[in-house]
Structure 1
Amino acid sequence: MKNASLMKAGLCLMLLALLMCLPLTSYAITEQEWNEGCGSKTGQTIQLYDIVYDENGGVISTPTHTVPGGLYIRSGKVDSDSGWLELRYYQNGSICSGWMKMYNNDDLVSCSVMLSIDDGTCTFVNEALLKNPERLHEVINASAPAGVTYTWIPGTTNVHAEGKAEIVWDSASYPSNTTAPSGGSSSSGTGGKNSTAPTPAPVVFQYEGAAVEVIRLGVSTSTILLNEEETDVPTAEVTFNTTAEEDRRIAVIHAPRTGKCTLRAKASESGKMVKSCMAGHVVPVLEYGKEWCRILYNGAEGYVLTSCLKWYSAETQGIGVLSYNGEATGSTTINIRNAPDGESFKVAEWYTGTQVQVFGLDDGWYEIECDEIHGFVMDEFLTVEE
């Protein structure tokens, strides 16, 4: 009897534990939430594999299953040497994975769509957001310049998907290069009226060989999502597909008079406006040119004048705390400027007590950075920690 009672008690505890775990498993992430967080989807049915390494470091692959086209995916680990990419996808309430060989232009495509706005601008968003107007509203307005109100939604009559940006990955373009053929055709050979120009490959950030999400990008230090935890790492150790030289990979939007510059769809003053880039923001440079640079700003790729970018040394001199008359209680705000000049554009307004990275002191101005904003503050408003 005693043993039977113990078994009953044990079964009850196991059942209770299972019931308690079910909501955590089921509601950890929904399929819609997963889709909204993806940057790409499968362009066609793809064969996935399990891979192991032999004693010489070679890859031994075993086919396991296929996934259909149109499946929203996120990239996991990357083996650039052998050309294998781990795909993660959502299926029946779980996150599944498998390895694919990177070789076919049509395997993976971008799931971005371009929204044309009634003010003449456009922006790119995840197509899954079109099924969630409330979330789409939040995402679009979050990327809007400070102090500007947008009324793209509600109503949705002045927001529509104009055309999908079919950006492809292949073994030649991922992850080191930045362009890949988009697969246009022509009856009279290459360059015909139906052929398409190369399109940029998706920007993929990597840390120690694995694809990661960058939460905050900084000149010296960046915050990435590593093993589902936010982790600070040296920006120099975060790689992405760029043709820019090492000292031109990370830049700061420089517009000390106007406070913003225009991100365009092509490297020309006549190029369609994608959005405004606010001064002080740290951005990755995907292509560097004497007149134009291609950058990634708030999830949108485009071109800005090279004169609207500034490059700074990643070497820091420690941590500082904003203060006013020696007090750092959070009761006063301090202006952060785009240049070491009291008349330059105010890129941020931070409370006293805010900790910042300090890069140097020149002529009474500290060069500082915090939360993806790089700027300058007068030395009387900063206390450098010993």
Structure 2
Amino acid sequence: MTNYLFRGVVLLMLACSWPTQAHLRDVMVSQQEQQTVIVVEQELQGLRPEMLDWWWNNLGRDGFFQRWNPQAHVAFQWLQAPASQEQLAVAVGAVQDITLNLGGVTLNSQLRYLQPGARCVGDDHRLVAELSFPGHEALGTGLVRYDYTNSGRGEGLLLRTTYSMPDGLAELYPDYVQALSAYVEASMVNLQTFLGDEFQALYVEDALLPWGSYEIVPSGWLTKKVIVNQEILGITPDMLDWWWDNIDTTNRYKGWHPTAHVSFGWRVPPSQPDRLEYSVGAVQLVTEYIGPYKSNLLITWLDPELAEDVVEYQHWIVAKTDLKELSGILPQRLIHEYQTNETGDGIVMRSTFTVPIFFDWIMPGFSQSLGEHAIQEMHFLPNFLPAMFKQEYEKNTEGCGQCQE
């Protein structure tokens, strides 16, 4: 067996050096005997895990599959299409039929998306798919797995791709199997050239914005209000009550809006982050983009009584927002209010931002961008907040034992 073919012992060695090492044990346990295993590890710049989460359900649109690797990709079709292209969750049961040309061999294969397992607080993103080869059923099936997480510098992601294939395939098509490692590496590197832009345009802007609405109304001589209304499925008011004091890290902040949030830190940390009420006086320093405009903001949690006479929903948070460079000179006010929706499967939310009227003079379109930003960021929360709340607040780690090591 040549040196590009690795077996379980190699996976065990790799498990000691990769950030998501615990999850490889799942692969090892599930492998059939007589498997050829190929592992490729990469760091991809400029991408977030959420972008790959979206990618798997969108391979069939806009020529994406061909763009992914023009030299090797011959054909793609969904035999069982994802129910939605507008969610970041793996579409379990989706089946893709693909034809690749590797090592001078053109071969048809099928991948059926499997349940990836429980999401843990750690950045354990993954896709698992059963691999089969029509016309070669006697060989049995294999497994394809992508494990990925944020890089330590937060500027990209670390990716491990694992192919477990029937040994008989290497005997039938040795050149195909030998070319697989280089194919995987080239394909994922190529994603760096277009995935970020497509994710922003097709998901962040096109898919998320219809999930809410906003209006811009006058508010006195010097200010205006941007009022955002939306329904967010999959989270509860308690989760959001807890979230305000537990954003904590830049990585979590980026997960809240992967393409607009830049950095996060507490200037004054919360005094009671383990409770379902925010800590009055806590101050965060964040850097984010509102549309094209980059801002450094100081956000201070204020006494909830200040908004008691104006809110309509049962839960709320009120805060003061200052530009870091002009602290105390141009303070803005924000209120997020929310409660359980009528169907009990999410929340309804209203966000009110009071901003200086001249912001739109010096930053054209700022108020519109602010309304859009508020819709976008809130609809990223269901992708991670339920699991985070369950494990950190409720102390329920069922299904995530591998993540606690």
Q: TM-score, normalized by length of structure 2?
A: 0.24
Larger RCO: 1 or 2 (CA < 8 Å, sep 6+): 2
More helix by share: 2
More strand by share: 1
